[in-house]
Structure 1
Amino acid sequence: MIFPPAFFDIMVHLSIHLAWEAKVCGPVQYRWMYPIERYLHKLNTYVRNKACPEGSIAEGYLAEECITFCSRYLRQVETKFNRVERNYDGGQPLQDKTQLSIFSLPGKTIGTGVLTVMTEELHHAATHYVLTNCDECLPFIEEHKDILRIQHGDDRVDELHKKNFVEWFSKKIQQLYVDGKVSAQMRSLAQSPGKQAVYYKGYNIHGFRFHTVQHDVTKKTQNSGVMVKGENQINCVPWYGTLTDVVELWYTGHNKVVLFHCNWFDTATKGKGYKEDRYGILSVNNKGKLNTQEPFVLASQATQVYYVEGIKNSAWSVVVETKPRNVFEMPTNEEEPYQEEESQTSHTYANRNEEEDNEE
């Protein structure tokens, strides 16, 4: 009634049915024709002689197949099959039994680092967080807490542990190292990193490419969103924040640990710091920051997200989780579902045969 009939050509007419088709048929990426059209365009580029287009396509296809076959066997030559991925993080380090797990985490820094002197407060927080997240330090953490419970009771255990554990652990490991009961790697960890740390603007880890907030200011992309799932989650809501600095701590013996210094959103207060709609979509208040004494996380613990600013209220941002590049989540159960079905079917057939034999 508004537009004339000539307005509704094939392109406009198809757009009317898109919402209905998505509702009936599901996501469009599983049924559209773009892959086929792109491949037809690729075959069209093989045509060099317009008088014989089929022969040109056949020769071009055969030439690419030969090049692909040969490139799989070339050594020390970069091809599309052996070139380094865009978000390559260096791969999983070689397992060394003499090296601590905290010193053998994957990851690769981006750009040139800047040597910066950390403040006393940040240095203590970073050192304490590294010790807390090192598997080899867990027995010493429990021992120190038990000592504090005996001396001061249960009320101030966490407070005194955060304040005194670094110094107590250093003295404890030094004495054990003199007695020959711990390795040089543990002694390196106990001596704490230097206050001079290297700050980077980016880091590749687990298929993600992280950048700091300062780097994202002039970019159209967003790579500074961080999500961490931890043990101290409130209401099963992960910690969300933004990456401010990539900090590389230096220990003795050429050992290094990379931490993410983040500004965290308040995911502890529902309604004020975060909210969730009826569809399960979570939004965070980007104006409210969480005051915490633990601004650091290990780079290996971080997962990348991005924040979409709300249209009606710019103070709220919708959280969207991203998928890592060329990294896939594999099921822990090695037996595939169809294998289970086959085993159940064969078991049923076996029972049927036994019953028929018994009847006979």
Structure 2
Amino acid sequence: MNRHMAGYAGAIVAALWLLVQPAAAHVRYVSDEQEGQAGLAFAVDVLSEPLNLALVGGGAVATLAGAVAYLRFRPARTDLAVLRETLSGYRDLVPWMLRLSLGLPLVGAGFAGYFFSPEVMWSVRVFQVAVGFLLLFGLATRAVAAIGLLAYLVALPFAPDLLLAFEYIPGFIAIVLVGSGRPSADHMLKQVAGTPGTIYGRFDPVYGLADWFDGVIEPYERYAPTVVRAGLGIAFAYLGIVEKLLAPGTGLAVVAKYDLTAVVPVDAGLWVLGAGLTELALGVALFLGVFTRGGAAVAFLMFTLTLFGLPDDPVLAHVTLYGMVSMLLITGSGPLAVDNWLREPTEDAEASGRAGVPGDD
């Protein structure tokens, strides 16, 4: 009993450490301030205060201890097994979820007059609205996602601020891998075209090609969670390093603007450093596939705190991120993840008994 309680205690300490960290955000969406120290000098200056050093170091040790305790004692095995099994039952909804999470913000971006990121004010309205609506309808889904990805990559050298919306890259790739799913126009048209004797089936020009392409892509669909996980990991790490650790002036301006030191009474520099380190750590964990569902849940909480805590942060900037972390909650880590090595043998047996759930964490 004491061993299980120790495991629970470690997990609770780790969770509390994450909860008291600053809400992560695209801070340049709410502040343009760029002055102040940067990089290592900023971190050294913040950590020169003994209290700040104790909070950061103690939090890191508590988080690591909580992870080790969880792996050692595996508390709530049955609860987590049921949760994983239940979430895995929603896998057929993943394509629809991804289409919504990219389609809605693309339509919004088109009407708002910016290109993927609010930092890039290019009015490409017709293109983005068309791509967004086609994704929402699920019509020519894989081709439309590929076109959206190409447009993003072509524009990136001319507008490096598009990296603030890096999540679109893994999002588009994941849609190419999983297809439209259902409900979707593609699914409906495919059903009609593939049924002998239908009038539409006689004239449909793409059913055969689409069916062939689906067969080509099918062996790689299992890597969609890997793509989303790695892509989100890169996005989190980038935002933590570039927006906060290397440009703390912007973050400090956000802390001052919303009087965040009154919410959690710590040094303003610790707010920014804590946010940057938290995003960096979460990004690395997601990229490696360590505690993927737990990391996705923490990310979901961070987005929600930011959404309600920073009213100037555009809601549309979070829709894609919400959809992608929700996908990871359902699918787990996917192949090529550390989680696959951390599972107990009983979890391996459960995972192997579920078709199409490779690398479930």
| TM tier relative to shorter chain | under 0.3
Name the structure with the higher helix share.
Answer: 2
Name the structure with the higher strand share.
Answer: 1
Select the structure of larger CA radius of gyration.
1
**Larger RCO, structure (CA 8 Å, separation 6 or more):** 2
